Amino acid sequence: MLSVVMPVYNEGAIIRENLRRTVAEFRPLGPFEIIAVNDGSNDQSAAELDAAAAELPEVRVLHLSHRGKGEALRQGTRVAKGDWVLFLDSDLDLPPDQITLFLALQHIHQSDAVIGSKLHPDSNVDYPLIRRIYCRGYYLLVKLLFSLPVRDTQTGMKLVRRDILIKAVEKTQVEGFAFDLELLVHLVEAGARMTEAPVVVNHQIKYGGIGLGAVWEIWRETWRTWWRIRRMKR
């Protein structure tokens, strides 16, 4: 069984249709569930999610106070029932039909985790120039600080074996965007075999947008994560 964890923040205008689309893509693949985690949205997301859950039997909804995308992913993972967990952004910038490639790569490489990467040479990324600059700069920072076996930590599509994911998730502390980075650090510590996957990205305003304030917060969380992990190792 596959569990799909989707963090939702102020996606009320599109979330019900996006859930319908995701369910339609996944039904031919076998048993699955979608855990839509409402991260304290202040629009009509809560009502739209409840309506989608009433319409689509595969959808479960968690309503949280606003804590950040990382906390939404953490809480969704904790209630997942599948043998594998897929993180998928609810705005569907990363179209859900890419799951077939992720599953194929997992089978070919016998991986514990398949990590979507905008920096994969086969990726098709429709991002503005400033987002590309942010992505490259962040990759260099992460490479310098953490030496991870993947190039892109922040792409919102990751497929991970649930038993190893739970162990890593319970070690995380970040509630915001840098959760992905912290999670990958702990997956590496747990010995997870990782494979990078190319992705197709159709750019929209993601999870509240990535402005200068969000960029600063990501960098600050990254340095805090590096310092905390360094202290733990000592």
Position 208 scores a pLDDT of: 42
Position 205 scores a pLDDT of: 45
Domain containing 203 equals: 2-233
Position 211 scores a pLDDT of: 58
Could you give the angle at which helices 212-233 and 129-146 cross, rounded to 10 degrees? 10
Position 174 scores a pLDDT of: 86
pLDDT tens digits for range 15-60: 999 999 999 999 999 999 999 999 999 999 999 999 999 999 999 9
C-alpha 52/C-alpha 36 separation (Å) is: 10
C-alpha 40/C-alpha 46 separation (Å) is: 8
> Higher-confidence residue: 205 or 154?
154
213 pLDDT band, cuts 50/70/90, is: low
Whole-model pTM? 0.89
Q: Give the residue-averaged pLDDT of 146-159.
A: 91
Kindly report the CATH number assigned to the domain that includes residue 91. 3.90.550.10
pLDDT tens digits for range 91-128: 999 999 999 999 999 999 999 999 999 989 999 987 77
Q: For 82-91, 157-166, 195-204, 217-226, which range has the lowest pLDDT when averaged over its residues? A: 217-226
| Domain count along the chain | 1
Share of the chain above pLDDT 70, in %: 94
215 pLDDT band, cuts 50/70/90, is: confident
Position 145 scores a pLDDT of: 87
Residues facing residue 87 across a β-bridge: 5, 158
